[in-house]
Structure 1
């Protein structure tokens, strides 16, 4: 049996992963050799530009089938990853004479820190000046994307709890893409970001120790809702995961693309797409693009996301696409009245027993009062809701989850 992309489906979340709040990687982290990683070879500017061009062309090749295969929507938040995917798709449509991609946008009306309207308008304006672009579809968001709101509840009925727990935000986009394809910028944080770190000798020295010793020397993980033994095990697994940062770029990309988190997340969104009669593509995970990106990163010194995107664009895209800007704070849109109500009436006995046994429930409820569940494992709320044993949202075919999408985005 395989999922929608032909991969074997990942194993279900373990009790520890549910208690922690996300997928956890195994502890088979490399050791010692990391601290001996050498500096990248000296490479000419022309060779760097050649490798950057090859990576850009691989990304263009990754989006082309979606554009050629019918109606193609691009999930567009205004963030750097989705802006880059949309810009590449628009450039491919222009040069190949294909129908232009249609940006689909979630526009937050009552969450100022989540709103990226100004950035969206700037990027879309620049892309229109660069060539044809499909008329944007704008979904206006009030409370609908509350973590325990109508969209999340429908996801729970369709496919159950997912990782990351806010995966339900893709659901209205996938319903709008029914019969066609939705392209996302998923993966940018893992694959494009994180290559600009410079590590102190102490960090490399710790990574050369046996994993258990490094884990014990690290500051304790901020997981007060877990029982001590569960917290220690998470600390060890998170320490192993943290060691990936020191890997050479190509090895890090391989680890990130094949990680349990990635496989669980991709399988979840593919299941949702199937239920919505839509296809979904994640160009940043295209294997040829990742190979070419690894070739480029192999010869670069540490580089942050903004200059890396600028290098990949190579002057082919409007400058605003690769400009740095603050990330939106989406928790403001997720943690609203429905979540507060669900938190107030949370019954830990609705959780599986093996999950419940890993929790310090009093501490969990205290943390939820102080921080809110979105910042401290709201997955537990979804698991509890999904175990009620009866449908928790209307499931009429293609029932609108949000107000109808409207054209225009400035």
Structure 2
């Protein structure tokens, strides 16, 4: 099964194939946006500032701010630029989920906002009705149909509230600042002692030929069985495609970071988010995924890459944020917020319609939706099921 190398017109949403709906993933690669570029001549910080300057000067400028390292870095650099050029500060926009301790980032958020001395901060309190089948998500589904990723249907509340201007996000930080394939080799090289057997095996796997790594990745996916609701024959192809994509990562850290821009999953997600924002008169800017920034970061990373994500964050904005923020390792989780009362209520009464039962086991899928921490990989099917059920009920 092959995948197209584009994501379609910027004026239209990318629509999933039946296979992509069942697996909740977009496989394959797009054309390399960095093809033909020489070595970057600017630092990652310079590249980030260059990307953010236009939306900062154009105003008004908003920043999706969770309190995590990535959104904090974007907010800090944007604020620094605004003050340098004498224009209004960007406004952080924060969604909060009271009652969900795993999604609580209030301490980190206040630490950043207080440090930057920001006077305006737009916070949105979201209750249990703000889930993937709450009133807002259902209205968006009825209007736009199935979108990927499913969580885009939860963005409409925020986008509608802030109105026009530019909206900056920290999307992509987990990818561009995350561990590269070469990290396992670097770990052994830098240990200063004889590596353990497990460390040696990990490094050897990273250095193995692509065909070997592809087999190992596929074997691990089959062993872990993280999507048990997908039929075995579909899952087998899904795993093959995932393994093919993952095994194509170069060993060189610089090339590996550039390789991230070729993944169709990231391209489709960014494309659909930008399309949604445009409906509300917003120019979506995802600077950490911008080719200019990725190109500069790749050059700075070199062959071996950064020693850690913390080192990369310090290199980017050590002068703008407390080190406590740059070095944090904790992370918020929103699975329970996304699959809340509305989604669970639908799951309990769902009749199995709306999904391709040749590809998906409805019973196992329902069990996943009703579990304590439902997988995000089941949420596209949740929306497909609701749309199918609604269409069948209304006859439209």
- Shared fold (TM-score, shorter chain, > 0.5): yes
Provide structure 1 residue ranges, at least 5 long, that are not aligned to the other structure: 29-49, 393-410
Match of 1:141 among 117, 126, 129: 126
The answer to whether 1:75 aligns with 2:60 is no
Structure 1 position 291, deviation (Å): 1.1
**Alignment partner, residue 342 of structure 1:** 346
**Alignment partner, residue 228 of structure 1:** 232
In 2, Cα distance between the equivalents of 1:179 and 1:375? Answer: 30
The answer to whether 1:101 aligns with 2:85 is no
Match of 1:23 among 23, 26, 31: 26
In 2, Cα distance between the equivalents of 1:230 and 1:4? Answer: 23
Match of 1:204 among 184, 202, 206: 206
Structure 1 position 19, deviation (Å): 0.8
**Alignment partner, residue 127 of structure 1:** 116
In 2, Cα distance between the equivalents of 1:8 and 1:340? Answer: 33
In 2, Cα distance between the equivalents of 1:385 and 1:142? Answer: 21
Structure 1 position 345, deviation (Å): 2.0
Secondary structure of residue in 2 paired with 1:73: strand
Structure 1 position 373, deviation (Å): 4.0
Structure 1 position 211, deviation (Å): 7.1
In 2, Cα distance between the equivalents of 1:360 and 1:123? Answer: 45
In 1, Cα distance between the equivalents of 2:158 and 2:144? Answer: 16
Q: Structure 1: which 4+ aligned runs deviate by more than 6 Å? A: 3-6
Alpha carbons of 1:60 and 1:302: their partners in 2 closer, same or farther (altered >3 Å)? closer
Checking the alignment, whether the CA contact within 8 Å between 2:335 and 2:375 is kept in structure 1 is yes
Structure 1 position 321, deviation (Å): 4.0
Provide structure 2 residue ranges, at least 5 long, that are not aligned to the other structure: 1-5, 32-39, 186-201
Checking the alignment, whether the CA contact within 8 Å between 2:27 and 2:264 is kept in structure 1 is yes
**Alignment partner, residue 150 of structure 1:** 135
**Alignment partner, residue 169 of structure 1:** 154
- Any idea what the Cα deviations from partners look like across 1:159-201, whole Å, max 9, x if unmatched? 3222222123332221123121111111111112223831524
Secondary structure of residue in 1 paired with 2:66: coil
- Any idea what the Cα deviations from partners look like across 1:335-376, whole Å, max 9, x if unmatched? 22111111112233223xxx3311122332333344554445
**Alignment partner, residue 264 of structure 2:** 260
Query: TM-score, with normalisation over the residues of structure 2?
Result: 0.82
Checking the alignment, whether the CA contact within 8 Å between 2:129 and 2:342 is kept in structure 1 is no
Checking the alignment, whether the CA contact within 8 Å between 1:27 and 1:236 is kept in structure 2 is no
Alpha carbons of 1:229 and 1:390: their partners in 2 closer, same or farther (altered >3 Å)? closer
Alpha carbons of 1:204 and 1:361: their partners in 2 closer, same or farther (altered >3 Å)? same
Checking the alignment, whether the CA contact within 8 Å between 2:29 and 2:262 is kept in structure 1 is no
**Alignment partner, residue 44 of structure 1:** none
- Any idea what the Cα deviations from partners look like across 1:88-113, whole Å, max 9, x if unmatched? 00000111112110011112211111
Checking the alignment, whether the CA contact within 8 Å between 1:4 and 1:274 is kept in structure 2 is no
Larger RCO: 1 or 2 (CA < 8 Å, sep 6+): 1
The answer to whether 1:306 aligns with 2:310 is yes
In 2, Cα distance between the equivalents of 1:231 and 1:88? Answer: 43
The answer to whether 1:218 aligns with 2:223 is no
Structure 1 position 391, deviation (Å): 12
Secondary structure of residue in 2 paired with 1:350: coil
- Any idea what the Cα deviations from partners look like across 1:290-333, whole Å, max 9, x if unmatched? 11111101155453222211012243444344131410011132
Structure 1 position 149, deviation (Å): 1.0
Secondary structure of residue in 2 paired with 1:121: helix
Query: Mapping of 1:233-244 within 5 angstroms?
Result: 233-244=237-248
In 1, Cα distance between the equivalents of 2:298 and 2:66? Answer: 26
Secondary structure of residue in 1 paired with 2:155: helix
Checking the alignment, whether the CA contact within 8 Å between 1:250 and 1:297 is kept in structure 2 is yes
The root-mean-square deviation of aligned C-alpha atoms, in Å, is 3.0
Checking the alignment, whether the CA contact within 8 Å between 1:55 and 1:292 is kept in structure 2 is yes
- Any idea what the Cα deviations from partners look like across 1:71-98, whole Å, max 9, x if unmatched? 1110100011100000000000111112
Alpha carbons of 1:244 and 1:87: their partners in 2 closer, same or farther (altered >3 Å)? farther
Checking the alignment, whether the CA contact within 8 Å between 2:206 and 2:251 is kept in structure 1 is no
Aligned residues: 361
Structure 1 position 287, deviation (Å): 1.8
